[in-house]
Amino acid sequence: MSGVREGDLPDRPLSVKVDAGGTTGENAWIGAVSELERSLESAVSTESSPFNLAVTYFISGRTYAPGFRGMRVGFYLSKYRTLVIQIVLPASPPEDGARAELLRVLGPAVDRAEAWGRRKRLLDGELTAVRTALAEVSREEMNERD
């Protein structure tokens, strides 16, 4: 299961999706990913990016369990200029909440995407547009907690 299908890829620097395998804790994750996706839709960046980043969160369950743990580079879709990073989440969100955990793992996902981009010679520095979108939604999260 890749978590990304043709037509699923928005044309923006950073997007998120979820693949759930049928657990009792997945509803909190699914809701948090949907909220985060809406926040990213409104995060406007005027900067161009050498490639976009699509993060797919996986939740193990009765019907599906990913064959890896943690985070990995999934694949690059050159037609869409999009790198897919895949992250396995625990069955239930931590006490500080699902959205906070999603944001916590997005920073390392961006780091991994940048390292991949440099290795493939698609990137010289940072994914500035991706980092700008992440900073915007992170600020939004901090304001909601205050």
User: In the sheet where 71-77 sits, what is the strand order?
Assistant: 14-20, 52-59, 82-89, 71-77
pLDDT of residue 16: 94
pLDDT of residue 1: 44
pLDDT of residue 46: 66
Measured in whole angstroms, the distance separating CA 96 from the mean position of its chain's CA atoms is 19
pLDDT of residue 42: 83
Helix segments in 49-127, DSSP class H = 98-119
Query: pLDDT tens digits for 11-59?
Result: 788 999 998 877 666 688 889 999 999 998 887 666 788 999 999 999 8
Query: pLDDT tens digits for 98-131?
Result: 999 999 999 999 999 999 999 999 999 999 999 9
Smallest Cα–Cα separation from 58: which of 10, 127, 1, 119? 1
pLDDT of residue 4: 55
Domains of the chain: which residue ranges?
A: 14-145
